[in-house]
Amino acid sequence: MQTTYLTAAATLLSVIVLSPVRADDLPTKAELTTPTIADVSAVSPALERYTRDTLFDGLWQRPGLTPRDRSLVTLAALITRQQTALLPPYLNLALDSGVKPAEISEIITHLAFYAGWGNALSAIAVTKDVFVQRSIGGDQLPAAFPDLLPLNQAAETERATRIEGQFGAVAPGLVRNTTDILFRDLWRRPDLAPRDRSLVTVSALIASGQMAQLASHLNRAMDNGLTQAEAAEALNHLAFYAGWPNAFSAMPIFKSVFAGRPHLQN
Amino acid sequence: MQTTYLTAAATLLSVIVLSPVRADDLPTKAELTTPTIADVSAVSPALERYTRDTLFDGLWQRPGLTPRDRSLVTLAALITRQQTALLPPYLNLALDSGVKPAEISEIITHLAFYAGWGNALSAIAVTKDVFVQRSIGGDQLPAAFPDLLPLNQAAETERATRIEGQFGAVAPGLVRNTTDILFRDLWRRPDLAPRDRSLVTVSALIASGQMAQLASHLNRAMDNGLTQAEAAEALNHLAFYAGWPNAFSAMPIFKSVFAGRPHLQN
Amino acid sequence: MQTTYLTAAATLLSVIVLSPVRADDLPTKAELTTPTIADVSAVSPALERYTRDTLFDGLWQRPGLTPRDRSLVTLAALITRQQTALLPPYLNLALDSGVKPAEISEIITHLAFYAGWGNALSAIAVTKDVFVQRSIGGDQLPAAFPDLLPLNQAAETERATRIEGQFGAVAPGLVRNTTDILFRDLWRRPDLAPRDRSLVTVSALIASGQMAQLASHLNRAMDNGLTQAEAAEALNHLAFYAGWPNAFSAMPIFKSVFAGRPHLQN
């Protein structure tokens, strides 16, 4: 794992450091705004130091969360925060760290619903280029209509009944879509494991400062297999990619969710 | 209405599907980042399906909110979330759905105050191109200093007095600007009806996850003629364009506002 | 001061008004999306009026906050809200208003932590171009490892102990990073005065609608020398650049912080 990761980190740095060269005369979307390490150094030698030492040699090397999981968290944060200029190197790092193209496809689709349609479409525009560069074709992508994972009928009925009771008369279309499109369809798509889907959802909520549904999705994530240590380290990771204030706003919610669960989790 | 809308939807799809062709050798802002349906399909056949079936053939076809209102809501969400790459097709859809150029002009101006100056200026950059393409000139735009709508003197005095009492000593400049620029000027500009202005404001608040002023603006919107059914369907619409978490955070506020109003509304 | 500012404002307007001309055939990042005043006028004569009269001739001319401070607040808001298309004219205005290149460098580095890494990197991409145009080289930038300002050992130990007690077992990595990287390193970097660093932090929190840590950072800002009148006028300024809803959500917190402090402040 460590070897794989070091290779991946080197790839990331070289992607960022080396200026891209293209034959045609139009800049790509990514070329227009992705800064190189030389750009960072030309404005802030301190930020270059923090990027190298604190972020790549520090945070990404920490145990507690695998490089693959860190990639899921980072992609979710970048897409949710619409930082598409940074997506190409992180998409490459994710693919080099073991995230499958099908999983990236599902992350973007999932975030259409959890971060907003425009965020997903903006991510599409740059991801397409990375897929082309790496010769990733339709055979590696999830079907539009796959066989869905089995439904936990009891749990889903409980959720649907509770929300229908609370809000069915307030926003009937939204309540119905939540059941039919999200919980009976999207969440059951098989090409992103429920645990990973939950990690992406939790990351998106923190990355956009939306704390109201965080407790329920963090509980769902841990029901789906995310450990307390992984959740805590994902929060540490998100402090860098979503800013300290978002991470600190999430901390009391993490504390309360952790306290409310059986102690086997960690 | 339905016929008009189907035409408009077809226009939208063709705009998105067909790659734009331009004579000059520089990419336009929109060409750089607006994904085509083919791009979506190259990354996620599932997202293509949801975009076609769930969004365009589903959501946009639902009764309860006219295509024109859906355009107002969507433009407000895109501008507030600074998703300018998606604006051109939606601006065209709005114009094809009956939103007047003068109303688009007012929406952007209104959102300078409610979403932030930079959001409005970013929207200007792409809207200008759409206006040029459609030969929309200054004669179709609202004057800088139009005759203002009459002021509801009693209601506005009550609001101004209340805020002055609460915050006049805390942030005197801001409190005065709120009265002089927003409620005695901006809100009285005649080229966007108060009901539409309210719908845009409510949409902007939800689209940016700002729930603190939502109750007061939703009440104002309903005072200005927005029905409960329209408000509820706008929330359903915004779940897609602003993400499910924002819509769910707004739901309890909608519930409480609906409950506090006379029952004739629906 | 007033003369300096009028010059700076004229510079800003001319930068925005005059279309940039470049020899090479690729658009710069800024040229792609920065609207000119003519663009604004082509979409909304009203917004042109508000931009000229209300913003530049009104807000920026108000006493209570110097043009230099207004630049700090505006840069913090634009970087936090990732409105990089607007950064170039405001970076030039800041430099013309007395903000040093070293301070801009530190603001971006500071916001990597307080607004998110991607926001800082996006700001780098455009700031680099402005620095090149103005021949600002490495000799004007802060060192990666400068001599740090002295630590207020008692206050920092109190803070660290309190947070460790609350959250040390919840997110140990994040709690340790907060002490080691933020409060024992970043905040002590000497090229941005603590009072200015606090003003940037407070502005970033308001600009992103993150109210949870605002009280503690506003108190810290006032401990670091920001007066109540300056804080109030910064809030008025931010209403324009971050939208009225963010400013109004901050107002009760300002009120409560002001009320909790000794009355010498103003």
- CB within 8 Å: C45 and B143: yes
Residues of chain B with CATH 1.20.1290.10: 2-19+26-149+189-259
Mean pLDDT for A15-28 is 38
Contact A182 B25 (CB under 8 A): no
Mutate one of B43, B56, B84 to test the A interface: name it (highest A CB count within 10 A).
B43
Q: Is A256 a residue whose pLDDT tops 60?
A: yes
- Mean predicted lDDT score pLDDT of chain C: 89
Structure confidence at residue B34 as a pLDDT band (50, 70, 90): confident
- In chain C, CATH 1.20.1290.10 covers 2-149+189-259
HSE, CB side, 13 Å, CA atoms: give it for residue C5.
Answer: 17
Q: Is A113 in contact with B248 (Cβ distance < 8 A)?
A: no
Q: Which of C46, C232, C243 sits opposite B170 (nearest CB)?
A: C232
CA dihedral B243, B246, B252, B256 (to 10 degrees): -110
Contact with chain A for residue C22, Cβ under 8 A:
no
Q: Which of A181, A179, A171 lies closest to A155, judged by CA?
A: A179
Question: What is the pLDDT at residue A9?
Answer: 52
Nearest to residue A255, comparing CAs of C165, B145, B44?
C165
* C30, pLDDT greater than 90: no
pLDDT of residue A14: 43
- Greater pLDDT, B129 or A14: B129
Report the chain B residue with the minimal C-alpha distance to residue C79.
B118
Q: Is C233 on the interface with B (CB under 8 A)?
A: yes
Predicted TM-score of the model (pTM): 0.92
**A29 in contact with C, Cβ within 8 Å:** no
pLDDT at residue number A263:
64
Instruction: Please check the confidence at residue C80 and state whether its pLDDT lies above 90.
Output: yes
Three-class SS of A188-247: HCCCCCHHHHHHHHHHHHHHCCCCCCHHHHHHHHHHCCCCHHHHHHHHHHHHHHHCHHHH
Residues A90-120 pLDDT 10s: 999 999 999 999 999 999 999 999 999 999 9
The confidence band for C47, taking pLDDT boundaries of 50, 70 and 90, is very high
Half-sphere exposure in the Cβ direction for C69 (13 Å, CA) = 26
Predicted confidence at residue C198, as pLDDT, reads 98
Q: Is the pLDDT of residue C21 over 50?
A: no
Instruction: Give percent above pLDDT 90 in chain C.
Output: 82
Tell whether B135 lies on the interface with C, counting CB pairs under 8 A: no
Instruction: List pLDDT tens digits, range C225-264.
Output: 999 999 999 999 999 999 999 999 999 999 999 999 976 5
Query: CATH number for the B2-19+26-149+189-259 domain, one of 2.40.10.170, 1.10.10.10, 1.25.40.10, 1.20.1290.10?
Result: 1.20.1290.10
- Facing B177 at nearest CB: one of C86, C239, C252: C239
Q: What is the largest CA-CA distance in chain C?
A: 59
Q: Exposed e or buried b for every residue in C136-164, given b needs 16+ CB within 10 A?
A: beeeebbebeeeeeeeeeeeeeebbeebe
Instruction: Please count the residues of chain B.
Output: 266
Closest CB to A86: pick one of C108, C118, C167. C118
What is the pLDDT, as a whole number, of residue B25?
37
Residues of chain C positioned with their CB less than 8 A from the CB of B127 = 43
Q: Residue B33 is inside which H or E element, if any?
A: helix B29-33
List of chains touching A (3+ CB pairs within 8 A): B, C
Return the exposure string of A5-29: e unless at least 16 CB atoms fall within 10 Å of the residue's CB, then b. Answer: beebbebbbebbeeeeeeeeeebeb
Distance CA C70, CA C60 (A): 7
Of A25 and B70, more confident: B70
Angle at which helices B117-133 and B101-114 pack, to 10 degrees? 170
**pLDDT at res. C263:** 64
Q: How confident is the model at residue C218 (pLDDT cuts 50, 70, 90)?
A: very high
Which residues in chain A touch residue B12, judged by CB atoms under 8 angstroms apart? Answer: none
Give C172's contacts in chain A (Cβ within 8 Å). 232
Which of B37, B47, B50 to substitute to test the interface with A, most A CBs within 10 Å?
B47
Average pLDDT across chain B, whole number: 89
pLDDT at C214 (0 to 100): 98
Closest-CA residue of C relative to A64 is: C173
* Interchain contact A34–B (C-beta under 8 A): no
Query: Is 90 exceeded by the pLDDT of residue B16?
Result: no
- Stretch (H or E) spanning B103: helix B101-114
Over range C64-71, report the average pLDDT: 97
Its CATH architecture, for the domain A2-149+189-259, is Up-down Bundle (1.20)
Q: Do B39 and A108 touch (CB under 8 A)?
A: no
Quick one: closest CA in A to C208, which residue?
A209
